[in-house]
Structure 1
Amino acid sequence: MKKIHIIHENNEWTRHLTARLDELQLPYEEWFLDQGIVNLSEEPPEGIYYNRISASSHTRNHRFAPELTESVLSWLERHGRTVLNGSRALRLEVSKVNQYMALNASGIKTPKTIAAVGKKQIIEAAEKLSETSFITKHNRAGKGLGVRLFHSVEALKAYVDSDDFEEPLDGTTLIQQYIESPDASITRCEFIGGKFVYAVKVDTSKGFELCPADVCQVDDLFCPSGEREEKPKFQIRDGYSDAIIQRYEAFLQENGIDVAGIEFIEDQEGTKYTYDVNTNTNYNRDAEVEYGRYGMLELAKHLGQRLNRV
């Protein structure tokens, strides 16, 4: 029987989707790819395949999940199986350098960025960038891991030479222009089937942990009962419309990406800088309850439609 095959390495991020698939009574099977084998001499099962492997898999001790998944996707695509977020999407997921080059090729503006391998080269890159303030981030990270803000090259030197320095998984550190948002926020645009679903405003005033999944919310978003409530970290921007949406949709089509969350930040002049493409996108429950639209439900419906075409 043909079914929906979900390729992933994180049950916490996938159970919301499988609950919706159960709700819609759609047949599915999970492929948990932290370890495994790929028999290249056999044909893959019938159905469609949805890839949810994340760049942050190594933080869950699933170091080689992306490499194993790349082999699986190559096998699936060789046999003509329908794959949502296939090999090209995976390559962009695990490399911000690849993301930025693909975004630029589609005419989408990204912050000035220099990639560096080696501690000495990180310092040289910051000097070349010639920005008063800049951030560092890992080329392969996820969830905002490894992101640090610096206001001088001297501060960066002190960090790089300290025990706090985080070596990137692939050895590549990005030194990037710091874009200051007037209201300390970014916008994340969600797409399913390559089409815009909604945009979320994310408060960044307390740091760079921007994963919208409920499990990623380390701190409570509200004050304790009886105290004044703070504004939620994630708020859906009702009726959001902008020309960048069409550029994002074209970018997704050009790169074979079916499901994604794309993040941008606006500076004080209103210029938008796109800095992250999440092909393993998640959704925030509280924001969706307030808005009355649910990403995982829309995704489950889309997977059902794609399955019916096979």
Structure 2
Amino acid sequence: MTDLTIVYEHDQWFEPLFAALQRRGLPYSAMRAGGSFDPNCPAPSRVVLNRIAMSAILRSAEQPIFWGLALFDAWERAGAHVLNGTATLAVDTSKARQLSLIASLGLAIPRTRTVHRVADVAQAAEAIGFPLVVKANIGGAGAGIARFDDRDALRAAIADRTLPGSIDGTLLVQDYVPARDGRIMRIETLDRSYLYALDIAGAGAFDLCPADACQRPDGAIRMNAVEPVEPLRTAAEAIARAAHLDVGGVEVMIDDRDGTPRFYDINALSNFVAKPLDVLGWDPHEKLVDRLEAWIAESR
């Protein structure tokens, strides 16, 4: 059994991580998600790092999300320490579960109704009020989100069958929260502890990709390093612990109507920023490699 296997889905996002591992001389095997596996197979390594993104649904109809969930379950049963494993994926694959988890910690979330039938969307909307958004329960990079400002626009979308869809057949009808100054914050964590935070302007809760490599060519989305106030930092760490999040981000926005921080997304994929020295002044991949070395040592 080797020490480290990284299972990934996006061809470019993890090149900086692979480069950091090579600089440090830490042996690893990289496995692109896909193919087949024996449910009775031994785990390939002591430590496995799951890097499958929910936004895989945007890149292929044959996304590996649920295949990966079965794979990591088999490897966990075979004794591997899977980072962002099945417990984390159970949260990552459901925005509804994320909101329940966040609310259970006493933190504010947008008013939400979870539905599984399009026929129930209109009734849920009446409970929420307008403007509102309809979201896919499983999405990535802003996939499957539509805003509706009034009842007629929503009814037209229902009639035309143009509502967002989710691969699990579940939708969220959610209050549209006006983010103060059009900004949201992405708080990154490593091993349930604060790592860094980004102030993201111009996106609201739509079309968001957490790496500056995914910014729009027109510069509409701008990202800068920021230090969150202590209550937000503490809240993000509590969410990471509850979600069994080994590495990943938590997103929050300040409701411009009343100043309430509303947490709305847990993302188990941290692809970090593309130019960390420019944006952060340091490279978070180095800290991730430090922790991978420690996890490997703990697994022996």
Alignment TM-score, normalising by the size of structure 2: 0.91
Q: Deviations over 1:208-264 (max 9, x none)?
A: 111123553342428xxxxxxxxx611111x43321322322332233211111000
Cα gap change, 1:185 to 1:124, in 2 (>3 Å)? same
Equivalent residue number for residue 55 of structure 2: 56
Equivalent position of 1:77 in the other structure = 76
Check conservation: 1:34, 1:63, Cα contact below 8 A.
Answer: no
Q: Is the 8 A contact 1:195 1:249 kept in 2?
A: yes
Q: Which runs of 5+ in 1 are unaligned?
A: 223-231
2:13 partner SS: helix
Q: Assess if the C-alpha contact under 8 Å between 1:236 and 1:287 holds in 2.
A: no
Shift of residue 137 of structure 1?
0.9
Q: Aligned to 2:180, what secondary structure does the other structure show?
A: coil
Q: Give yes or no for contact 1:186–1:202 (8 Å, CA) kept in 2.
A: yes
Mapping 1:144-223, distance limit 5 Å: 144-162=142-160, 164-205=162-203, 208-221=206-219
Distance 2:155 2:83 in 1: 42
Q: d(CA) in 1 for partners of 2:77 and 2:260?
A: 42
1:116 aligns with 2:130: no
Which residue is 1:250 aligned to?
238
- Aligned-pair CA distance for 1:62: 5.5
Rate the CA distance shift 1:203–1:191 in 2: closer, same or farther, 3 A.
same
Structure 2: runs of 5+ lacking an equivalent: none
C-alpha contact 1:35 1:68 (8 A) present in aligned 2: no
The aligned residue for residue 104 of structure 1 is: 103
Single out whichever of 15-24 and 58-67 deviates more from structure 2. 58-67
After TM superposition, the runs of 4+ consecutive aligned structure 1 residues lying more than 3 A away are 163-166
The amino acid of 1:199's aligned partner reads: A
Q: Distance in 2 between matches of 1:90 and 1:124?
A: 30
Give the 3 Å change call, closer, same or farther, for CA 205–140 of structure 1 in structure 2.
closer
The amino acid of 2:287's aligned partner reads E
Kindly state the Cα deviation for residue 183 of structure 1 after the two structures are TM-superposed: 0.3
Across the two proteins, how many residue pairs are aligned to each other? 298
Superposed CA deviations along residues 45-74 of structure 1, whole A, max 9, x for unmatched, are 332111111222222116351221111211
- How many Å apart are 1:176 and its aligned residue? 0.4
**Aligned equivalent of 2:251:** 263
Report the RMSD for the aligned CA atoms in angstroms.
2.1
In 1, Cα distance between the equivalents of 2:276 and 2:197? 11
Task: For 1:183 and 1:287, locate their aligned partners in 2 and report how far apart those are by CA, in whole Å.
Answer: 24
